Amino acid sequence: MAYTAKDYTSLIGIDGFSETLLTNHFTLYQGYVTNTNKLTDLLTALLKVGKAGTPEYAELKRRFGFEFNGMRLHEYYFENLGGKSPIDRSGKVFKKLVDACGSYEDWEQDFKATGTMRGIGWVVLYQDNTNGELFNQWINEHESGHLAGSQPVLVMDVFEHAFITDYGLKRADYIAAFFKNINWGEVESRLR
């Protein structure tokens, strides 16, 4: 069953993100959806003609994690944007972040420091499904570094396309804008 790109145009107008940046980002996301579907079809076709043992099959198989995670991480990202209010200091997310890092401020510092690491990728706040623990994790490109059996709770894109149009090389300024637009209600709904 093919995936369909979701519509995030309602995000246009959020503070700190230009329409050009967001529109280009939506187009990139749609490319991941298209390529996820394309890879599924290509792999199925190769399997059906007995070519599963070929280098072509192997490379497409490797590629699948890149395209699929490129699709899904963008969905988490766009869906945890568009918030209008700061984190609820009496809420469940706040309490879990304090439990994880000692204070909300330390958690935020760690998340932002992870996001300003050199390289392209993502920062994902994960919840381990086995014990509820939270971790800020660096994802290289789209597919390397995911924590098995864990739920993405907050996702931030730090590929250059996510900010360079509006912020040049000032990644920290983009991250500050990202924080002003976090949809904490969505984040809370992802917590176990």
Query: Which residues contact Fe ion (rule: CB under 5 A)?
Result: 157, 159, 162
Strands (E), 18-133: 121-128
> Any residues with CB less than 8 A from the CB of 160 and at least 6 apart, and which?
120
In DSSP terms, which residues pair with 61 in a beta bridge? none
Output the smallest distance, CB 95 to Fe ion, in A: 30
Residues in the chain: 192
Give the residue with the Cβ less far from Fe ion, 43 or 73: 73
92-101 and 104-115 are packed helices; what angle lies between their axes, rounded to 10 degrees?
A: 80
| Least distance in angstroms from the C-beta of 73 to Fe ion | 8
Whether the CA torsion 109, 112, 118, 122 is positive or negative: it is positive
Taking the C-alpha atoms of residue 19 and residue 144, their distance in angstroms, rounded to an integer, is 30
Q: Helices 104-115 and 171-180 sit at what angle, rounded to 10 degrees?
A: 140
Q: Exposed, middle or buried by CB within 10 Å (0-12, 13-18, 19+), for 16?
A: middle
Considering the complex, what minimum distance in angstroms separates the CB of residue 40 from Fe ion?
21
| In the complex, residue closest to Fe ion by CB | 157
Q: How far is the CB of 39 from Fe ion (least distance, A)?
A: 18
Residue listed under structure tokens 């993405």: 152
Give me 100's structure tokens: 């994880």
Nearer CB in complex with Fe ion: 74/96: 74
- Minimum Å gap between C-beta 162 and Fe ion is 5
- Tell me whether residue 107 or residue 122 sits nearer to Fe ion (CB atom): 122
Nearer to Fe ion, 29 or 107 (CB): 29
Comparison of 107 and 178: residue with beta carbon closer to Fe ion: 178
- Residue number, 72 or 190, with CB nearest to Fe ion: 72
Q: How far is the CB of 41 from Fe ion (least distance, A)?
A: 24
